Amino acid sequence: MIEPDDERMRATVREQWTGPDRERVSDLVAREEPLELRIAGVPIAVVMRTPGHDLELARGFAITERIVESPAAITAVRHCDRVEDPDAEDNVVQIVLDPAVEVDLAKLRRNIFTTSSCGVCGKASIAAAMGSAPPVEATWTVPIDLLRALPDRLRAGQEVFSKTGGLHGAALFDRTGVLLEVREDVGRHNAVDKLVGWATQNVPWPLRDCVLVVSGRVSFEIVQKAVAARIAVIVAVSAPSSLAVEFAERSAVTLVGFTRGDRAGVYSCAWRVTAT
């Protein structure tokens, strides 16, 4: 059996059919496990994620779900070493906020529950979510050729996807096309949260001079998270949803979809995209 060299993968065996023939072969699959996020010892969300970069995920989640307005409100993020179930020790993270930050923990628990397939399932209402952040203020422009080149550069950085085929990817670039970082996860919104969490400690905040590139489609929650981080441009390999387009336009975010080869469709704030 293949032995994984990364905590984000697990070894397994599959029965492979090719025409009428079958054989048992070793395989690697992406891991998916729950991660409980706590504030002041109170569970606020359970995220079904791929292990790895958990503290970045927690930081990014706090920002993109607008639990806090800026990274400065987070004083520490750490794995809990005292949990009810010892087996869950690696799957519980405590977010420590500045004492001056006021958070309605009961409201958070009512309104947030996240799985690997959906990042907005627990919102009290989409209208409330869409009204949670002002438009992004960024007046710079970017050549279309630069944007069209970014998905291939994201794909080149997806190490675990190359071995399992089972993870979404997200990459952050600066406005000149310099790759800043790549993150992968079984959940597309988790990949974005990990990336944002990384950026809170490594990139000048807010991220209005950055481009977010995602490996699949763009739904509302991806745009919501980008807006919370003040990202001005989103590039996707696949399609956007109608609500993603609407929210991007309202939030002054340039949303580019179906970015493959020499093709790209600009769905909102097309003024940011230039021929040269």
Token match 């023939």: residue?
21
160-191 b/e (C-beta count within 10 Å ≥ 16 → b): bbebbebbbbbbbbebeeeebbbbbbbbbbbb
What DSSP string describes 213-266? EESS-B-HHHHHHHHHTT--EEEESSPBPHHHHHHHHHTT-EEEEEEETTEEEE
Known catalytic residue at 118: yes
φ, ψ at 23 (rounded to 5°): -155, 155
Annotated active-site residue in 80, 118, 121, 210: 118
The token pair at 4 is: 């994984």
Q: Are 185 and 191 in contact (CB under 8 A)?
A: yes
Q: Are 188 and 168 in contact (CB under 8 A)?
A: yes
Catalytic residues: 118
